[in-house]
Structure 1
Amino acid sequence: MTDMSTHPVTAPVTGRRDFTRSNQIQARLHEMVPGGAHTYARGADQYPEAMAPIIARGHGSRAIDVDGNEFVEYGIGLRAVTLGHGFAPVVAAVTDVITRGVNFSRPTYLEHQAAEDFLQLVPTADMVKFAKNGSDATTAAIRLARAATGREGVGACTQPFFSVDDWFIGLSPMNAGIPASTTDPVYRFHFNDISSVEAMFDDHGPDLACVILEAATSTAEPTPGFLETLRALCDRHGTVLIFDEMITGFRWSEHGAQSLYGVVPDLSTWGKAMGNGFPIAALAGKRELMELGGLNTDAHRVFLLSTTHGPESASLAAFRAVVATYATSNPIATMTRFGTLLRDGVNERAVAAGVGGHVSAIGRPASLVFTTADTDGVASQAFRTLFMQELIDHGVLGQSFVCSAAHTDTDLEITLHAVEQALRVYRRALEAGSVDGLLRGRPVAPALRATAAPRRLRTSQ
């Protein structure tokens, strides 16, 4: 998949790493940037203390930090990179287009080409509008549904994340500064629990403008009939059905999860892997809805999506190169093969190490996560941090096992070796009933939490 000719594949050095330069830069970042990172999921509090590398460069499946440490990287751009870092066709397409200007006062021919590419890829949509991030796209979908129905209610699945905007973040513990009234008309239901959906419609049906969910998650496929029943309920109540395809798009299928499960939403939102790491997102859907933000309507117009950098040429060129790559090869099959081998290898080693009930790799092979439980079998941040600490020491970086099509058999070998070493330490912690004496520093903490504690900056920083 990835041209690695100028980047020889090597095995990262194992043993305790030196993060001196990374820690110096991280300390300075905390002085300049709230949270020390521009994305909360990338924060130092999401990694073992004093072991959060500052990345200098990457190639394929590898990331190299400012201290010279090389890692097999997972999570890989918060799932945004499916073809590998520095993927040559994407780099070439972007390099070519930026020499001719990237932002103009009128639409470019590239916008026309990218829209055609998208709508051929997602034939269940009639129109598309590009944006820069997924939050803008999902909030635009909510706004559009409210305008089309004249209702305010939003049915939001209890899935981890939909938007940084008030209507969603106001539901999280990190809701300071958000009026409670913003989330009053947002109602929750549970994935694969049709009774919770029916109860929501029974209680709020006349007020429901839309229902938003991921059609599948990394750890859960839709149960038979769930999406079909949800579609039928939305039709019966005149409610707009929105699929969030941020993760499923280009990992489940380049045509979206909707193509796999045969249930067509009214609107869908896209992002992450669309540009192999370049910033691009999209809102797509039925013409009668989308045109409310256009010029072919007599209705009161919706301010749908309108951003200075939404159609800049570099990201559109990256998107087109991604589409072309998926048309001529099969990145999803490559990720599925690798992820299956990794999942099976991790789980076999966990059983062999006597920690099979405590550590496991689960989920769709192209979007694997790992679970970590304490001596009582309860999910544990402390044990998770210990596992990550040992993986990092052995050349594997990531909050998950989400792979790309650039991950190789060598990467698999390195990762499984790192897992073996980590499991030995993990078992010692289980036998002791604690990570004390094994974990260096404080455990990681949820990214969305009400206070900086338990990872508030130490006074020395």
Structure 2
Amino acid sequence: MDAFELPESRQANERLHALIPGGAHTYAKGDDQYPEHLAPVISHGRGAHVWDVDGNRYIEYGSGLRSVSLGHAHPRVTEAVRRELDRGSNFVRPSILEVEAAERFLATVPTAEMVKFAKNGSDVTTAAVRLARAVTGRTRVAICRDHPFFSTDDWFIATTPMAAGIPRETAELTVGFPYGDLPATEELLTRYEGEIACLILEPAGHVEPPPGYLEGLRRLADRHGCVLVFDEMITGLRWSEAGAQGLYGVTPDLSTFGKALGNGFAVSALAGRRELMERGGLRHDEERVFLLSTTHGAETHSLAAAMAVLTTYVEEGVTARLHALGERLAAGVRAAAASMGVADHVLVRGRASNLVFATLDEEGRPSQPYRTLFLRQLLAGGVLAPSFVVSSALDEADIDRTVEVVAQACAVYRKALDARDPSAWTGGRPVKPVFRRRV
């Protein structure tokens, strides 16, 4: 039997699969993303640590799919939420918190002129696409094909291997462009001259934008009459308090925020130029756009959480702390990998505030079996890390302990490389990619 087992989590996963398709409410949280029978089911969390139903404590990374950037149950956030719970969460007319939250957001992200809140990222990216189509009168959407996810809605999912249930005609309206390649993007815009409503992309990812790239996209969008949309779900707050647009000094027409904005509470935002955003309002003479109209989009406790998050980031310099923690972690992991002779196989990539890792096989190719081995060793050492994305609740002791566990994992990794077969250390089937056509 394995030295590290999760019997209570295993039973809980069976209950989850019996009642919930996929066993989770987000595919990226599915147990197929973890080694077989080693997918912890969480009991609770505090700060940078979580406990599973078996009683194990883990140092956690990538908390809430990058949404919990201040740590679980952050006192300023929970206090703000508690203040609203006894005051009512949803009314027949707007709460005063809606304007206060809008004012706080726009003061933090001054490149935007108006904002509308919703509950998740797909709400607001789809609203941006609809608005772009309305104001341009065009139907095609150009997405950056090097970025993994934009929405659960048909215009994006149609481009993935999980396109079942989506008409082919819908897929044909979405085209792709490569990140960092202005000539290729211009060729796409020329090929579909007058048809593309918007360019939508993450302004930065695991690599920094090439010099002049975002500025060049801005010029291309203007020249070809399409809307430039920055998906700042990940870059928002983690790159700077004002997002990547604030860091790089390039202003999109529309931008979308979420994840870190609520520190785990459900809140997202569509922001942008008044001229465009007002088309979803009541003060214009154009055809109306059904922009965002969600029953729970402005729940008071979620808006209170967002306001507390924005205040905490600005007053406590959270973005700088995320970068400092990430730099310490990246340096430690790289040193540990090098010391065990796997520096060319266990790689750390990305901005310090948004680190991921790659697991490569003997030939230097990305490997799910080696990822499985690595995750298994991390879990056994008390580190829950589908990525190395840090939260500000981590401390230096957490980082140093993580590096120790990584070093132990790399020692096993070296053995598997020498054997040219990781299967003896995977404990079962390898972890699987989220987007795949068959189970």
Whether 2:197 is the aligned partner of 1:176: answer no
Q: Distance in 2 between matches of 1:249 and 1:200?
A: 28
CA offset at residue 254 of structure 1? 1.5
1:168-207 correspondence runs (5 A): 168-207=156-195
Q: Distance in 2 between matches of 1:345 and 1:436?
A: 27
CA offset at residue 363 of structure 1? 1.1
2:60 partner letter: E
Q: Distance in 2 between matches of 1:117 and 1:59?
A: 27
1:14-413 correspondence runs (5 A): 16-158=3-145, 159-217=147-205, 219-413=206-400
CA offset at residue 262 of structure 1? 1.0
1:180 partner letter: R
Give the share of equivalent positions with the same residue, in percent. 54
CA offset at residue 327 of structure 1? 2.2
- CA offsets 1:321-346 (integer angstroms, 9 cap, x no match): 11111121111111111110110111
- TM norm structure 2: 0.98
- Give RMSD over aligned pairs: 0.9
Larger displacement relative to structure 2 (22-31 or 320-329)? 320-329
Question: Residue 198 of structure 1 aligns to a residue in which SS?
Answer: helix
CA offset at residue 361 of structure 1? 1.3
Q: Distance in 1 between matches of 2:203 and 2:194?
A: 24
- CA offsets 1:212-267 (integer angstroms, 9 cap, x no match): 001100x1110011111111011011110000000000100120100111110000
Q: Distance in 1 between matches of 2:423 and 2:40?
A: 23
Whether 2:430 is the aligned partner of 1:443: answer yes
2:281 partner letter: G
Stretches of structure 1 that go unaligned for 5 or more consecutive residues are 1-14, 453-461
Total equivalences in the alignment: 437
Question: Residue 205 of structure 1 aligns to a residue in which SS?
Answer: coil
Stretches of structure 2 that go unaligned for 5 or more consecutive residues are none
CA offset at residue 51 of structure 1? 0.4
- CA offsets 1:385-431 (integer angstroms, 9 cap, x no match): 10000000000002100010011111112101110110011000000
Give yes or no for contact 2:332–2:400 (8 Å, CA) kept in 1.
Answer: no
Q: Distance in 1 between matches of 2:321 and 2:296?
A: 33
Whether 2:432 is the aligned partner of 1:432: answer no
CA offset at residue 205 of structure 1? 2.6
CA offset at residue 199 of structure 1? 1.3
1:228 partner letter: E
Give yes or no for contact 1:347–1:361 (8 Å, CA) kept in 2.
Answer: yes
1:140 partner letter: A
Give yes or no for contact 1:280–1:316 (8 Å, CA) kept in 2.
Answer: yes
What's the counterpart of residue 457 of structure 1? none
- CA offsets 1:267-326 (integer angstroms, 9 cap, x no match): 000100001110000101111111111101111100000011000011001001111111
1:34 partner letter: P
CA offset at residue 349 of structure 1? 1.2
CA offset at residue 59 of structure 1? 0.5
Larger displacement relative to structure 2 (192-201 or 90-99)? 192-201
Q: Distance in 2 between matches of 1:212 and 1:432?
A: 44
Q: Distance in 2 between matches of 1:282 and 1:263?
A: 19
- CA offsets 1:427-456 (integer angstroms, 9 cap, x no match): 00000001121210111111111111xxxx
Give yes or no for contact 1:133–1:271 (8 Å, CA) kept in 2.
Answer: yes
Give yes or no for contact 1:89–1:321 (8 Å, CA) kept in 2.
Answer: yes
Q: Distance in 1 between matches of 2:422 and 2:220?
A: 48
Q: Distance in 2 between matches of 1:436 and 1:214?
A: 36
Give yes or no for contact 1:18–1:67 (8 Å, CA) kept in 2.
Answer: no
Q: Distance in 2 between matches of 1:110 and 1:98?
A: 13
Question: Residue 400 of structure 1 aligns to a residue in which SS?
Answer: coil
Q: Distance in 1 between matches of 2:193 and 2:218?
A: 14
Q: Distance in 1 between matches of 2:121 and 2:101?
A: 17
2:210 partner letter: T
2:88 partner letter: G
Give yes or no for contact 2:369–2:423 (8 Å, CA) kept in 1.
Answer: no
Q: Distance in 1 between matches of 2:329 and 2:41?
A: 26
In structure 2, relative to structure 1, the CA distance for the partners of 1:16 and 1:196 (3 Å cut) is farther
Q: Distance in 2 between matches of 1:363 and 1:187?
A: 26
Q: Distance in 1 between matches of 2:14 and 2:390?
A: 29
Give yes or no for contact 1:292–1:301 (8 Å, CA) kept in 2.
Answer: yes
Q: Distance in 2 between matches of 1:239 and 1:428?
A: 53
Q: Distance in 1 between matches of 2:3 and 2:99?
A: 51
CA offset at residue 155 of structure 1? 0.9
Q: Distance in 1 between matches of 2:389 and 2:128?
A: 27
